[in-house]
Amino acid sequence: MNHSRKIFAILLFIAGTVVISSCVKQEFDDPNTWQRPVGTVITVAELRNMFQGEPVEFTQDYSVYATVTMDDKPGNIYRSAFIQDHTGAINLRLQAPGGIYEGDSVRIYLKNTVLGSYQRMLQLDNVNVDWNVIKIETQRNFQPQTVSIPDILFDNYQARLIRLDDVQFSLAEMGKTFADKENLLTENRILEDCSGNRIIVRTSGYAGFADKPIPEGRGSLVAVVATYGSEIQLYIRRLAEVQLTDDRCPIPGEDLNLMSLANLRQNFSEGVTTIPANTRIEGVVISDMENDNHPGQNLFLMDESGAGIALRFSGFHDFPMGSKIRVIVSNMPMNRFNGLLQIENIPIGNAYDMGPGVLPEPVQTTIGSINSLVELYESTLVTIPNVTISGSTFTGNLTMSDGTGEMLLYTYNWASFAGSPVPSGTVTLTGIVSVFNSPQFLLRNLNDIQSK
């Protein structure tokens, strides 16, 4: 009897277990699908058009389908990704790095994200990869669109994946790396085409290729277009997409007549205010754009004739001190601006970097000689010994004297050394002779001051 009861109890337990098991749900709902409705589907272009100058916070159900064209895994961007569809592209700002990768075909659920602009770069902010991103497929690579630098500079390609052909890095970038990997510093490099059009390639010090040398040749490059304020920039995804192995572009203007700066100045003194057609000039930049003691559109150039001249471009230039440049100046006007002879309104595309040059040796002279022969020394590099400087800090006009005379020493308020203390006692100064109604001396940097 007891034996029968035991058998019955065992059978009852087994039956109960079967019933309970049959009631347990074996396939759980995936929170990555059921919690996020599709809602209204819009294109990337329609998403971008929703921004009208003020942030847009999404509180309703909207979705965008797109492909990831760049992620932050290689280190060139951080907590960020770029997506693109057939209508446009946009930057995603992620709550945390990773989780979304190049080639992912995704649906972006827009609820709780914010559409905004940072330094003119349109972006979708507050993106939670686990909540706002639904992956549909992987390894669905987006093909870059082949464009030109002028196309990009027209500002119609923001956030898009593009390809440039027949481009090269500026000669001024040779010998450099893409960024400063040792100090983890982001740096800009200048990319140009064979017509002299230029654009910035920006690389993070955290990028895997940050310490790789800038290639010397010409070829193709794939990148994503970004914007920071007034600058349009390119972000490279990986070094394999930088294929610059062909010969460099020939420098334009070789067939034009080379005119020395001495002849140029002589022509002006004889009443010629327009440079002849088919003319180029070449020389070495003696001003220092890095330390910025001159307007960003200006530079001072000297050539082998020993003469110098001020050049004023139509926009900011990027020619460093010591670089040799060629400038096509056909039919360009010459004029004295507050007494300083300059070639005016030179298009940036008329100037070409020819690589490192040799800075001319500064001519030793006196303030008295400069004051009496300013035309001879104007826009050239000189050294003046036995100088004393009035004032306590480098700012605006100071008076410098050497026993033979006095002249103004001028520091722009945006110069890197503006506000630095003026050395006491007698010093030797090296710098550029400029003119602002009267002779004016411009230091290039603080290394131009040698104390006794």
- Residue-wise pLDDT for 376-392, tens only, equals 999 999 999 999 999 99
Span 224-249, average pLDDT = 96
Residues with Cβ within 8 Å of 101's Cβ and at least 6 positions away in sequence, in order, are 68, 71, 73, 138
CATH code 2.40.50 for 145-246: yes
Contact indicator for 181, 210 with CB cutoff of 8 Å: yes
The Cα–Cα gap between 406 and 234 comes to 49
Higher pLDDT, residue 35 or 381:
381
pTM to 2 decimal places: 0.71
Question: For the chain, what is the mean pLDDT?
Answer: 92
Distance CA 422, CA 445 (A): 13
pLDDT at 19 over 50: no
pLDDT at 34: 54
Query: Would you give the distance in Å from CA 362 to the centre of its chain?
Result: 32
Torsion of the alpha carbons at 72, 73, 74 and 80, rounded to the nearest 10? 0
Is a pLDDT exceeding 50 seen at residue 29?
A: no
Give the pLDDT of residue 401. 98
Cβ-proximal residues to 302 (8 Å cutoff; 6+ apart), any chain:
261, 283, 284, 286, 308, 360, 379, 380, 381
Tokens 């996020």: give the residue. Answer: 36
Instruction: Report pLDDT for 420.
Output: 97
Q: Give mean pLDDT, residues 164-176.
A: 93
List the chain domain ranges: 33-137, 145-246, 257-356, 363-451
User: What integer is the mean pLDDT of 367-382?
Assistant: 98
Two structure tokens written together for 229: 């304020």
Strand pairing partners for 180?
A: 185
Fold entry, domain 33-137: OB fold (Dihydrolipoamide Acetyltransferase, E2P) (2.40.50)
Q: Does residue 337 carry a pLDDT above 90?
A: yes
Report the pLDDT value the prediction gives residue 367, as an integer from 0 to 100.
98
Decide if 77 contacts 113 (C-beta within 8 A).
no
Q: How confident is the model at residue 1 (pLDDT cuts 50, 70, 90)?
A: very low
pLDDT number for residue 10:
43
For domain 257-356, say whether CATH 1.10.540.10 is its number.
no
Among 25-34, 81-90, 135-144, 365-374, which is the least confidently predicted range?
Answer: 25-34
Q: Is the dihedral of CA 75, 76, 79, 82 positive or negative?
A: negative
- Note the pLDDT of residue 171: 86
Question: Between these two residues, 201 and 21, which has the higher pLDDT value?
Answer: 201
For residue 59, pLDDT beyond 90: yes
pLDDT digits (tens, 9 = 90+) for 268-286: 999 999 999 999 999 999 9
- Going by pLDDT thresholds of 50, 70 and 90, the confidence category of residue 9 is very low
Q: Which amino acid is at 56?
A: V
Give per-residue pLDDT as tens, 426-435: 999 999 999 9
179-216 pLDDT, tens digit each: 999 999 999 999 999 988 899 999 999 999 999 999 99
**Cα distances (Å, whole numbers) of residue 165 to 84, 149, 319, 328:** 21, 9, 24, 24
Lowest-pLDDT range of 22-31, 122-131, 162-171, 273-282: 22-31
Q: Per-residue pLDDT averaged across 396-409, rounded?
A: 98
Tell me what the mean pLDDT of segment 102-119 comes to. Answer: 97
**Distance between CA atoms of residues 284 and 355, nearest Å:** 10
Q: Looking at the predicted structure, is the pLDDT value of residue 266 above 80?
A: yes
pLDDT of residue 332: 96
Looking at domain 363-451, which CATH architecture does it have? Beta Barrel (2.40)
> Contact 413/390 with Cβ under 8 angstroms?
no
Q: Is the pLDDT of residue 303 over 70?
A: yes
DSSP 326-376: EEE-TT-BEEEETTEEEEEEE-GGGEEEEEE--PPPPEE--HHHHHHSHHH
Rounded-to-integer distance, Cα 343 and Cα 329, Å: 8
pLDDT at residue 268, rounded to an integer? 96
d(CA 295, CA 86): 43
pLDDT in the model for residue 25:
36
